[in-house]
Amino acid sequence: MSFPLLTATAVLPAIGAIATAAVPAARRTAAKWLALLVSIATLALAIAVLIRFAPDGDRYQLTESHAWIADFGVRYELGVDGIGVALLALTALLIPFIILAGWHDADPLETGNKRWRPTQGFFALILAVEAMVIISFEATDVFLFYIFFEAMLIPMYFLIGGFGDRAHAGSDENAAAQRSYAAVKFLLYNLVGGLIMLAAVIGLYVVAGSFSLQEIAEARANGSLHMATNTERWLFLGFFFAFAVKAPLWPLHTWLPNAMGEATAPVAVLITAVVDKVGTFAMLRFCLQLFPEASKWATPAILVLAVISIIYGALLAVGQRDIKRLVAYASISHFGFIIMGIFAMTSQGQSGATLYMVNHGISTAALMLVAGFLISRRGSRLIADYGGVQKVAPVLAGTFLIGGLATLSLPGLAPFVSEFLVLVGTFARYPVIGIIATFGIVLAALYTLVLYQRTMTGPVKPEVSAMPDLRVRELVVVAPLVVLLIFLGVYPKPVTDIVNPAVKSTMSDVHKKDPKPEVEAAK
């Protein structure tokens, strides 16, 4: 019997979460190191998955299938395609950096009104989220996916509500109220989406008689399963609504700025770079594969919502006074690009969208983590409280600039390639949508450069005059992300080679071919 590599990749961080939570309270540092070592071991398993995955092989590989709840047709089925394995690798890559960046975020606060902050719990919750996200990328049973799609809300709720930004340390009661509001809003929005999806999951089983993604897709392909048009559309909307909340797509996005603003910087990265990717991934894996005709029917409306997200998120980012909320609104704009690429129904658009998920995770992690280091030094999230930082902390300012330039998709950095593919793929089929979306690029340059100008340039404010530069631990966090941004900006082929065959299969699911160019190439 072959080694269950996919199960091991998900189970290891789950066991690590339990072990970390069980470390005695007096051994805080041991809990941190245990969590870090578990996350590195999980990354090693993810690398093993990458090595064993053959991009030109079967669509779903390293598959596992076992009976689970036989009376309801639920099976424990795992398998990864190129899209899933790329996002699995992204998750495993980012978690060690998130843990290192949050090394002191759960230490007891030395304030007049001390609050209990269980360090072990903080790192255990991060590992628990990692386990649930990884199995969500691996699950090919719809019910199995749903369980972990919803279960990850619980540790995220406690990470947002229980471990807040140290910038609020001087106003405990107000900070606790804001964290509680953000955590409850996050939970309620996603629970509502999940309940609607549960109804759709049950409806799918009634119609198809199975929860297996592969069985249903094969039955649709060979004509043995036929869904009535209205039934398929309602089921599609039930799934898509839940994924659009998680993504987050306008107008279901309003929980994200609150959650990212009140969470610590590493948890904010966990939200937008890891957890939210489950929503866009699921649109590709479930919406398009299970409901191809309904996906095409809904495409015009979804593209309009995606363009609104791009422009709206960018405009709100321009007007922000809070650094973390600015990054949150920028992420809403970027997720608009991802969703637009998915529903452009072109190979360039979907390849770009998948690559965008990976690149956005890396660029947002770089920018938000450096912003977190900055905020921890000054004790404020307000842009107006900074100025002249590059003169006193040039390395911090330089890495902040690279993260910002990646956010605005500067050529030579990773997000440029994915954004370019999304726009080309969209323009080929929906030129008006593509043209409107390009204004998001202009706005991204505006909010990014204005943020850098106001925080890093100009006269040195007295409050930042003694600000230390990045320390060794912080450099270990940021440097690899910067290297990846440059490497994938210059040479994205390792990722595109993995995702392109899966995109080709997805295009086949919806019976779409790339539009032919209006001008034939010269012979």
At residue 521, the pLDDT reads: 57
pLDDT for 129 equals 94
Q: Is the pLDDT of residue 459 over 90?
A: no
The whole-number pLDDT of residue 307 equals 95
**Among 134-143, 207-216, 481-490, whose mean pLDDT is lowest?**
207-216
**Is residue 414 one of the residues assigned to a domain?**
yes
- φ/ψ of 188, rounded to 5, equals -65, -45
Can you tell me the mean pLDDT for 354-375? 92
Does residue 478 sit within a domain?
A: yes
C-alpha distances in angstroms, 439 versus 309, 343, 416, 429, 504? 12, 19, 15, 18, 29
> 211 and 339: one domain?
no
Q: What was the pLDDT predicted at 147?
A: 92
In a domain, 519, yes or no: no
Q: What is the mean pLDDT of residues 436-464?
A: 89
461-488 per-position pLDDT tens digit: 888 788 888 899 999 999 999 999 999 9
- Given pLDDT bands bounded at 50, 70 and 90, which one contains residue 109? low
Looking at the fold, whether 9 and 62 belong to one and the same domain comes out as: yes
Q: How many domains does the chain have?
A: 2
**359 in the same domain as 386:** yes
Band the pLDDT of 228: cuts 50, 70, 90: confident
Domain endpoint, select from 238, 257, 290? 290
Average pLDDT over residues 96-101: 93
Q: How confident is residue 3, by pLDDT bands cut at 50, 70 and 90?
A: confident
Establish if 35 belongs to a structural domain.
Answer: yes
Instruction: Judge if 300 and 210 occupy the same domain.
Output: no
33 inside domain? yes
What are the residue ranges of helices labelled H in 322-346?
323-343
Average of per-residue pLDDT across 346-352: 90
The percentage of residues in the chain with a pLDDT greater than 70, rounded to a whole number, is: 95
| 521 occurs within a structural domain | no
- Domain check: are 173 and 265 in the same one? yes
Residues 261 and 410 in one domain: no
Helix (H/G/I), strand (E/B), else coil: 460: coil
Are the C-beta atoms of 160 and 183 separated by less than 8 Å?
yes
Quick one: which of 505, 142, 513 has its CA closest to 354? 505
Q: Sign of dihedral through CA atoms 88, 91, 92, 94?
A: positive
Are residues 256 and 338 both part of a single domain? Answer: no
Please tell me the distance from the alpha carbon of residue 247 to that of residue 240, in angstroms, as a whole number.
10
* Per-residue model confidence as pLDDT tens digits over 305-318: 999 999 999 999 99
Q: Which of 275, 290, 305 is the last residue of a domain?
A: 290
| 3-state DSSP assignment of residue 322 | strand
Mark which of 234, 269, 290 sits at the end of a domain: 290
Task: Please state the φ and ψ torsions of residue 77, each to the nearest 5 degrees.
Answer: -120, 125
Domain membership of residue 261 (yes or no) is: yes
Residue 409 pLDDT grade (very low, low, confident, very high; cuts 50, 70, 90): confident
Question: CA separation (Å) from 377 to 124, 166, 464?
Answer: 26, 10, 8
**Phi and psi at residue 306, in whole multiples of 5°?**
-65, -45
Length of the chain measured in residues? 523
Q: How confident is the model at residue 522 (pLDDT cuts 50, 70, 90)?
A: low
At 1 the three-state DSSP class reads coil
349 CB-contact burial (10 Å; exposed 0-12 / middle 13-18 / buried 19+): buried
Torsion of Cα atoms, 178 then 182 then 188 then 194, to 10°: -170
Domain identity same for 264 and 372? no
pLDDT in tens, 40-90: 999 999 999 999 998 887 788 888 888 888 777 788 899 998 999 999 999
Q: Does a structural domain hold residue 520? A: no
pLDDT, residue 112, reads: 43
Q: What is the pTM of this model?
A: 0.90
Same domain, yes or no, for 494 and 398? yes
Q: Clarify whether residues 367 and 489 are in a common domain.
A: yes
Residues 3 and 38 placed together within one structural domain of the fold: yes
Query: Residue 410 contacts by C-beta under 8 Å, 6 or more apart in sequence?
Result: 416
Residue 414: both structure tokens together: 């990773």
Which residue segment(s) compose the domain that 443 sits in? 294-514
| Pair (245, 314) in one structural domain | no
Predicted local distance difference test score (pLDDT) of residue 110 = 53
- Least confident window among 20-24, 410-414, 497-501, 516-520: 516-520
